[in-house]
Amino acid sequence: MRSPSVRLPCNGACIILKIGGSLLTDRDHARRMNHERAAAYVRAIAGSWSALSGRLILVLGGGSFGHNVVQCHGLQHGVIGSDLLDRQMLTLSLLEMKVEVSRQLRAAQVPCFPFHTSSLLTTRGGVIASRHLDSVLAALHEGILPVFTGDVVFDHEIGFVLFSSDRVPEMFLGRLDIARVVVLTDVPGVMDESGRLIECVKSDNWRDAWSATSVSAKADVTGGMRSKFEAVLEAARLGIECLITDGTDPEEGIRAVLQARPRGTLVQFAQPVESAAALGSPPGSGTARVGEPVA
């Protein structure tokens, strides 16, 4: 990575929080919010805002504003020149979600700003090729909460790729001083083959944990726990503490952001490990390849 990491001047290292679309939406119905849960998350963020201002980046999982729309418009895979009329559809749908959550945050006195991932990134064969993060850093500097979703991102080789919300933290690796990545979803964390929670993932057991992960039981185009875990590994392998945990209760979910040892699966490596890409998930499944040259 060419650009040096930025340590935010006032409030120290950042926390990136992804709230799963499995929590914020009704995955059984296209483009339907779970209004009650979204409102409870807004209240919980507002309640802890004095501790989070200037150091939190919020990522909204697309849920039924994402997976269903991608399926409906055939946006799973990029082909140069294809889908030109439909390419905007995921971005528009996720914008609806960002607008709704951003309005609620404003009403709760939390200053936030919605960003389009596709406006800040390009990829080449699914790997980040350029990123323009100055506006996000400026927002954090002013104490504004940047709000992201996944997106359809322009790709130099294949027209576009589906860049899942699980991959959004990857945008900031090497550019921000990140204390923790917290990923909230509808299960207690990464479960092993017998359905038991794997509490700690370290350099000696991460391959076993990876083997236990698979796709989502619901309508899904971004790879469920498998790609979530792979995305988290990319941050963890740089030494960042990462947590995958249950966000069904929003108060608990926001506590997980600030607590010293929250419940769930903690992924933390004492020294760098190789990329999960080496394990061979199909391209576009969410596997990140950090460390390749990016602007």
63 versus 262: smaller Cβ distance to ligand ATP: 63
5 versus 211: smaller Cβ distance to ligand ATP: 211
Q: Looking at 108-116, 223-231, 266-274, 281-289, which segment touches ligand ATP (CB under 6 A)?
A: 223-231
Instruction: Find the binder of ligand ATP among 15, 101, 187, 240 (CB under 6 A).
Output: 187
Q: Is 118 in the site for ligand ATP (CB under 6 A)?
A: no
Q: Looking at 28-36, 47-55, 62-70, 230-238, which segment touches ligand ATP (CB under 6 A)?
A: 62-70
Instruction: Find the binder of ligand ATP among 217, 239, 272, 295 (CB under 6 A).
Output: 217
Instruction: Find the binder of ligand ATP among 186, 241, 249, 252 (CB under 6 A).
Output: 186
Q: Is 214 in the site for ligand ATP (CB under 6 A)?
A: yes
Minimal distance, residue 62 CB to ligand ATP, in Å: 5
Question: Is residue 243 within 8 Å of residue 184, measured between CB atoms?
Answer: no
DSSP the chain: --SPPBPPTTT-SEEEEEE-HHHHB-TTSTT-B-HHHHHHHHHHHHHTHHHHTTTEEEEE--GGGTHHHHHHHT-SS--TT--TTTTTHHHHHHHHHHHHHHHHHHHTT--EEE--HHHHEEEETTEEEEE--HHHHHHHHTT-EEEEE-EEEEETTTEEEEE-GGGGGGGGTTTB-EEEEEEEESSSS-B-TTS-B--EE-TTTHHHHHHH----SSS-SS-HHHHHHHHHHHHHTTT-EEEEEE-SSHHHHHHHHH-SS-SSEEE--SS----GGGG-PPTTSS---BTB---
Minimal distance, residue 226 CB to ligand ATP, in Å: 7
Q: Looking at 14-22, 34-42, 129-137, 232-240, which segment touches ligand ATP (CB under 6 A)?
A: 14-22
58 versus 187: smaller Cβ distance to ligand ATP: 187
Instruction: Find the binder of ligand ATP among 14, 16, 17, 20 (CB under 6 A).
Output: 20
Q: Is 191 in the site for ligand ATP (CB under 6 A)?
A: yes
Chain residues that interact with ligand ATP, rule: CB under 6 A: 20-22, 61-63, 66, 165, 185-187, 190-191, 212-214, 216-218, 220, 222, 224-225, 228
